[in-house]
């Protein structure tokens, strides 16, 4: 399935939505905050993301 939106742009939009939800409702947007955090950590620490659909585990830096 092709996507018309770059992942970083999509995460920025979701981050904005989640921030508005937190301001309005006083709690994090369920199921989204952890995904944003995982994406940001992977990007900022230059880690390899987990394969799609793989549960648990950890991101790795690719160095053996």
Residue keyed to tokens 């995904």:
35
- The answer on pLDDT for 29 being more than 60 is yes
Would you say residue 53 lies in a domain? Answer: no
Average pLDDT across the chain, whole number:
80
Residue 28: inside a domain? yes
Q: Which domain holds residue 30?
A: 7-44
39 found inside a domain: yes
55: in domain: no
The answer to whether residue 58 sits within a structural domain is no
Residue 37 lies inside a defined structural domain of this protein: yes
49 within a domain of the structure (yes/no): no
How many domains, in total, are found in the chain? 1
- Asked if residue 25 is part of any domain, the answer here is yes
pLDDT at 57 over 80: no
Instruction: Give, to the nearest 10 degrees, the angle between helix 33-44 and helix 7-25.
Output: 140
Going by pLDDT thresholds of 50, 70 and 90, the confidence category of residue 1 is very low
- State yes or no: pLDDT of 50 exceeds 80: no
């Amino acid at each position: 399935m092709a996507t018309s939106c770059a992942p970083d742009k999509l995460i920025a939009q979701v981050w904005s939505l989640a921030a508005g939800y937190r301001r309005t409702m006083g709690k994090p947007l369920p199921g989204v905050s952890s995904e944003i955090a995982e994406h940001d950590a992977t990007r900022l620490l230059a880690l390899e993301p987990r394969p799609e659909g793989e549960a648990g585990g950890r991101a790795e830096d690719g160095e053996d």
